[in-house]
Chain A
Amino acid sequence: MIARRALAIAGGVVLLALLAWAVNAGLERLAGVEPAAAPRAAEPAAPPPGVPRITATLFYGSADGQALVPVRREVALAEGVVPQGREILAVQLQGAPEPHVPVIPPGTSLRAFYVTDRGDAFVDLSSEISAQHPGGSSTELLTVYAVVNAVLANLPTVRRVQILVEGREADTLAGHVDIRRPLERDMSLVRESP
């Protein structure tokens, strides 16, 4: 009797967990596939006063151009992982605050952002990210991982990030770094000092 009852309780717990997962995954998917709005021009660096905001960790080039430096910046608060990701990326794609140097070509805009139920995020960027890229393995690594790290540092439910260019999978941005698959966070490029 006791054993049977224990089994029933255990089964209930598993069922509950499964249900919770299914609901979560479903919601994420629903929220995820919806593409971002058309690129907005010249967004302000900080949200206007009165708008609720969060502090996000963004990544910019160190003054010597050698590493990525994490910078805490204010970003408008948004409801849900995907809208919040869009807000974060919109700020990340803008110019770098002093004394940091930009590692993302100017003019690059976010076309879409979505997250699959496996935790892979897709960041769809406009063609400038590739066409205007200065090249070189070192800069290309900084560009790719500024985007990847900005998503992964602020959205804990995302595991990996894949960069798309004009809605398509790309080999590389400028001939070096392999972006055919989702990438994990790379903190080896990150340094604390500016």
Chain B
Amino acid sequence: MGAVRGTASFASISLVLLLMALLHAQGTAPAAPLTLVSRDGRRPLATTIVNGQELVALEDLAALFLFDVREDTLAGGLTVVYRGQSIVMSPGQPMALVRGRVVPLPAAPVRSGARWLVPLDFISRALAPIHDTRIELRRESRLLLVGDIRVPRVTARIDAPGPPTRATIEVAPAAPVTITTEAGRLIARIDADGLDLSGPIEGAGLIEGIRAGEQPRTVAVLLTARAGAAMAVAGETGGVTRITVEVTAPAADAAAPAPPREPAPPPPAPATRPPLQTIVLDPGHGGDDAGVRGARGTAEKDVTLAVARRVRTLIETRLGVRVILTRGDDRAVGLDERAAIANNSKADLFLSLHANAAPSADLAGAEVFHLRLDREGEDARRAAESEAVALPVLGGATRTIDVMRWDLAQVRHVDASAALAAVLDEQLRAQVPMGSQALRQAPLRVLTSVNMPAALVEMGYLTNEDQERQLGSEAFQSSLAQGIYNAVLRFRLYLEEHRVS
């Protein structure tokens, strides 16, 4: 039965089921074929197992990779010639001479009737280095990739059964991803020549399972009947595209269009402290300080407050995370006071919202800033690292206390803040136009005293006619809020991954 299902899966390019069947077969029966993937399509490449080593026929490879095989019957040598380059092997020797260099092989070439068989590693260790075409052997997934084709590895896992149920799908190397929702499922379409998928994932919580989609190059997240809303955010970090999936239980207030006045009830107490409990949003300016004024009269202070309120609603209803605004209405709040509100609330994230101005009306797009330290700040940072004082406490343990000037509190969080700024840039980019150099570092006053990861978003230019209209519109403000919310979701994962244990 496994073989039948494997064939069907093979035809539909998604290899998951085939791979499962192959894993079953391995070790007991003759090896099932490798799959050669090239621009021309896919085809099987037969292998056999001799003495526990998986071997492939040299003549099959010669036909595929256009090389000659010469057998020196006198000396017993075997020479592969490809465009003037050679690989020399001799029977009984588990090695090859590639361009004059000795390359070890797990087994010696063996004769089988009229054919020579060589170990699979011959392809990656001997042939690939001399061949003009890129050749990549992926043993685990039994793929042989030939030429300039993109077949990223796709792995999935359930992070938390929830609710909300959270899962992560990783695509490496990174590839563009389009996410669509259908009844009962969420489909991620990955822009590549093929996918190298690990086996289907058993579901948990509100996710039934994660497996290859019916369409080529898609991954399907199947939802259970109890699932409410499902959302996914794709972001690239370190050459890997990470799709974060969150499935929530149906909730009456989450579906209601009007923002609820009351904050959402706190989430059930988890075993460990969640890395993101409190967020401080800082609507820039206020009161006498209107900030930037657009030509049509739009004031920065009004835009920042409107977007902050929208972000608060999204976060509180969907994430159940406490959100504090440094000002909830049109009033003047000093920069130190804003930082103090964040520090006193022991927030895990500080985000200052602003609208920009440029000396030219052409400039448009959002920009994200994180703090750049000057020399004094760098000194303080180094000092903080070396001057952390270990104090003995009762019971013989020690407690680390940081010695830090409070007005430079941000220096302890520069790495996390850079990560926060990067996910903001990445997630806002999917929602609103960005400036040409959108991710920036600058000595911004409000960020320096904040004792937590912090960033400042300039959401657009009020000095640009189109952008002034956009920034005043509900649709644009809601796109900004969605981008910021998505970034918070991504940053929560960052915090989980970098949690100090």
User: Chain A residue with minimal CB distance to B335?
Assistant: A171
- Chain B interface helix/strand/loop/mixed: mixed
CB-CB under 8 A for A136 and B354, given A101-B360, A102-B359: yes
Contact-residue size bin, chain A (C-beta under 8 Å from the other chain): 20 to 34
CB-CB under 8 A for A175 and B335, given A101-B360, A136-B463, A138-B367: yes
Contact in complex: B284, A175 (CB < 8 Å): yes
User: Per-residue CB proximity of A159-193 to B under 8 Å, as 1/0?
Assistant: 00000000000011001111011011000000000
User: Per-residue CB proximity of B369-391 to A under 8 Å, as 1/0?
Assistant: 10000111000000000000000
* Bound Cα distance from A122 to B374, whole angstroms: 17
Contact in complex: A66, B436 (CB < 8 Å): yes
Which of A15-23, A57-65, A83-91 interfaces with chain B? A57-65
Per the 8 Å Cβ criterion, residues 444-493 of B in contact with A are 444-446, 448, 456, 458, 461-463
How many B residues, CB 8 Å from partner?
35
Contact of A137 among B361, B369, B462 (CB under 8 A): B369
Contact in complex: A136, B292 (CB < 8 Å): yes
A-B pair number, CB within 8 angstroms: 96
Contact in complex: A176, B362 (CB < 8 Å): no
Q: A139 — which chain B residues lie within 8 A by C-beta?
A: 356-359
Q: B213 — which chain A residues lie within 8 A by C-beta?
A: none
User: Chain A residue with minimal CB distance to B371?
Assistant: A178
Contact in complex: A137, B356 (CB < 8 Å): yes
Q: B284 — which chain A residues lie within 8 A by C-beta?
A: 175
User: Chain A residue with minimal CB distance to B300?
Assistant: A135
Interface residues of A (CB under 8 A from B): 61-66, 101-103, 134-139, 141-142, 171-172, 175-178, 180-181, 183-184
Q: B496 — which chain A residues lie within 8 A by C-beta?
A: none
Contact in complex: B354, A65 (CB < 8 Å): no
* Bound Cα distance from A67 to B94, whole angstroms: 62
Per the 8 Å Cβ criterion, residues 254-268 of B in contact with A are none
Q: A138 — which chain B residues lie within 8 A by C-beta?
A: 356-358, 363, 367, 458
Instruction: Report the minimum CB–CB distance from B421 to chain A (whole Å).
Output: 13
Per the 8 Å Cβ criterion, residues 316-362 of B in contact with A are 335, 354-362
Contact in complex: B444, A135 (CB < 8 Å): no
CB-CB under 8 A for A176 and B444, given A66-B436, A138-B367: yes
Q: B359 — which chain A residues lie within 8 A by C-beta?
A: 61, 65, 101-103, 134, 139, 142
User: Chain A residue with minimal CB distance to B363?
Assistant: A65
Interface status of B443 (Cβ within 8 A of chain A):
yes
* Bound Cα distance from A141 to B363, whole angstroms: 15
Contact in complex: A137, B285 (CB < 8 Å): no
